[in-house]
């Protein structure tokens, strides 16, 4: 078993959702089985009671005497105009319609009759000129059925509780290996990125040094100008590639949750943070115009400052990468409704195919438009950070008409 560190929020939510779905399925399966069992038990008892009533009435009709008092059972003997029966009988009997039917030659028939609030089973037969009618009071049987129904209901309620608890426990247990697998995968990514980070940073620095050295030495070396330029451009490409690989490794490290762990509960001013990120990006801007507009003050957000910084930096970095050196980038901050701050990063650069507006937030997704275009990790992580802070991020863009990214985050006040 792995020693588990707390998984990041989206993963935690996904695991919790999976466990809840499993728990619901187990509990509902259990409940359906219980309901079926209850229904079957009720039907069996009901059939048993009917058979018993019929049996008792048949016995009474064959062997009983109308004057004899049998609990819950009365016997009537109709011979022409005279009717024999025990001293005390329920009102409404003998049942005249059944007697008339039997007298007219109808076969023995059992009928269910309700008189007042009491249910009776009635069996009528003809023996020569005499018609005999047995009347069975089902009160005790009804009472037994009511008891059974109450017991089944109680068992059902207990079953619901039991099914929910069992479902929750089983759901958790079945999801645990999935949590372990995710944890293992996260650790692998974290370890691999961590191991790669140092040699890559060294490579990047060496390439930068080499480029600087080549630029300084170019004229002194006496190398033909064309070769020297070629060397410079190759070295520049190498510096850029090393820088890009470095960024991917940083993103992977961050995605593995190494950076979001501590200081999740900081309070910070989004406007100050945005200004800081802009300052850090300034060296990359070249001739681009970068404008920061802030409407309102006290835009305080709670969360992991470094992560939110990273998110803004990703948006700015993308804006810089997708605009020409004379392009224009705008970062604006404003309150949008109660307790929400909206951060927009807009540029007038390449834009993107509107069909890709969701796909660009997927990890290493491929563009839907023709041509080999793969997306990276940056926006996927930016969305994770926004969601992690209870917010959203969306994008609008058109090819050649720039792009706009909008992040909405809850404010603390």
Ligand X SMILES: Nc1ncnc2c1ncn2[C@@H]1O[C@H](COP(=O)(O)OP(=O)(O)O)[C@@H](O)[C@H]1O
Closer to Mg ion by Cβ: residue 124 or 318:
318
Distance between CA atoms of residues 392 and 380, nearest Å:
12
Closer to Mg ion by Cβ: residue 378 or 402:
378
Residue 313 touching Mg ion (CB under 5 A): no
Residue 378 touching Mg ion (CB under 5 A): yes
**Cα 350 to the chain's mean position, in Å?**
37
**Closest approach of Mg ion to the CB of residue 376, in Å:** 5
Instruction: Give which of Mg ion, ligand X, none residue 138 binds (C-beta under 5 to 8 Å, depending on kind).
Output: none
**Closest approach of ligand X to the CB of residue 26, in Å:** 39
Structure tokens belonging to residue 399: 């090819």
Closer to ligand X by Cβ: residue 270 or 360:
360
**Closest approach of ligand X to the CB of residue 191, in Å:** 23
Strand-pairing partners, residue 334, are 342
Instruction: Give which of ligand X, Mg ion, none residue 74 binds (C-beta under 5 to 8 Å, depending on kind).
Output: none
Closer to ligand X by Cβ: residue 137 or 347:
347
Closer to ligand X by Cβ: residue 152 or 274:
274
Q: Which residue has the tokens 């009997």?
A: 93
**Closest approach of ligand X to the CB of residue 340, in Å:** 23
Number of residues that bind Mg ion (CB under 5 A): 2
Look up residue 3 and give its DSSP letter: P
Reading phi first (left if > 0) and then psi (alpha if -120 to 50, else beta), residue 222 is in: left
Task: Give the count of beta carbons closer than 10 Å to the beta carbon of residue 47.
Answer: 10
Number of residue whose CB is nearest Mg ion: 378
Distance between CA atoms of residues 299 and 204, nearest Å:
37
Instruction: Give which of Mg ion, ligand X, none residue 397 binds (C-beta under 5 to 8 Å, depending on kind).
Output: ligand X
For ligand X, the binding residues (CB under 6 A) are 314, 318-319, 322, 347, 349-352, 360, 375-380, 397, 403
Instruction: Dihedral sign for Cα 285, 243, 316, 265, please.
Output: negative
Judging by DSSP bridges, how do beta strands 403-410 and 392-397 pair with one another? antiparallel
Instruction: Give which of Mg ion, ligand X, none residue 179 binds (C-beta under 5 to 8 Å, depending on kind).
Output: none
Q: 225-255 and 139-221 are packed helices; what angle lies between their axes, rounded to 10 degrees?
A: 160
SS3 for 378?
helix
Closer to ligand X by Cβ: residue 144 or 344:
344
Q: CB-hemisphere CA count at 13 Å for 336?
A: 14
- Kindly calculate the radius of gyration of the chain based on its CA atoms and give it in whole angstroms: 42
Closer to Mg ion by Cβ: residue 138 or 318:
318
Closer to Mg ion by Cβ: residue 133 or 318:
318
Question: Which among 143, 124, 132 has a CA at the least distance from the CA of 49?
Answer: 143
Looking at 318, 323, 346, 406, which residue binds Mg ion (CB under 5 A)? 318
- Which region, judged by CB under 5 A, interacts with Mg ion, from 89-97, 200-208, 283-291, 378-386? 378-386
Instruction: Give which of ligand X, Mg ion, none residue 322 binds (C-beta under 5 to 8 Å, depending on kind).
Output: ligand X
Distance between CA atoms of residues 55 and 400, nearest Å:
91
- Which region, judged by CB under 5 A, interacts with Mg ion, from 237-245, 299-307, 357-365, 373-381? 373-381
- Contact set with Mg ion (CB under 5 A): 318, 378
């Amino acid at each position: 078993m792995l020693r588990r560190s707390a998984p990041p929020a989206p993963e935690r939510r996904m695991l919790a959702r999976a466990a809840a779905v499993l728990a619901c399925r187990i509990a509902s399966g259990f409940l359906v089985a219980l309901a079926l069992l209850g229904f079957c038990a009720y039907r069996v008892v009901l059939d048993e009671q009917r058979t018993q009533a019929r049996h008792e009435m048949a016995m009474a009709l064959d062997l009983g005497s109308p004057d004899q008092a049998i609990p819950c059972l009365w016997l009537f003997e109709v011979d022409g105009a005279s009717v024999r029966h025990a001293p005390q009988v329920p009102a409404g009997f003998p049942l005249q319609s059944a007697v008339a039917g039997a007298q007219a030659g109808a076969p023995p028939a059992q009928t269910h009759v309700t008189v007042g609030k009491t249910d009776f089973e009635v069996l009528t037969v003809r023996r020569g000129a005499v018609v005999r009618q047995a009347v069975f009071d089902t009160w005790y049987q009804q009472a037994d059925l009511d008891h059974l129904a109450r017991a089944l209901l109680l068992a059902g309620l207990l079953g619901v509780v039991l099914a929910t608890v069992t479902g929750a426990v089983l759901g958790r247990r079945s999801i645990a290996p999935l949590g372990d697998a995710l944890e293992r995968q996260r650790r692998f990514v974290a370890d691999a990125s961590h191991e790669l980070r140092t040699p890559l940073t060294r490579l990047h620095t060496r390439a930068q040094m080499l480029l600087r050295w080549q630029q300084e030495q170019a004229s002194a070396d006496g190398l033909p100008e064309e070769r020297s330029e070629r060397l410079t451009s190759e070295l520049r490409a190498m510096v850029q590639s090393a820088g890009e690989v470095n960024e991917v490794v940083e993103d992977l490290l961050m995605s593995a949750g190494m950076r979001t762990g501590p200081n999740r509960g900081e309070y910070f001013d989004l406007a100050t943070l945005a200004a800081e990120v802009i300052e850090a990006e300034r060296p990359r801007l070249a001739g681009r115009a970068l404008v920061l507009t802030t409407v309102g003050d006290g835009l305080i957000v709670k969360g992991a400052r470094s992560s939110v910084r990273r998110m803004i930096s990703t948006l700015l970095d993308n804006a810089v990468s997708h605009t020409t050196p004379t392009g224009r980038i705008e970062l604006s901050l404003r309150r949008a409704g109660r307790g929400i701050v909206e951060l927009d990063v807009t540029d007038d650069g390449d834009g993107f195919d509107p069909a890709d507006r969701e796909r660009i937030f997927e990890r290493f997704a491929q563009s839907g438009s023709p041509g080999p275009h793969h997306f990276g990790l940056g926006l996927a992580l930016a969305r994770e950070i926004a969601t992690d802070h209870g917010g959203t991020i969306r994008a609008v863009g058109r090819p050649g008409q720039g792009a706009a990214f909008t992040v909405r985050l809850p404010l603390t006040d």
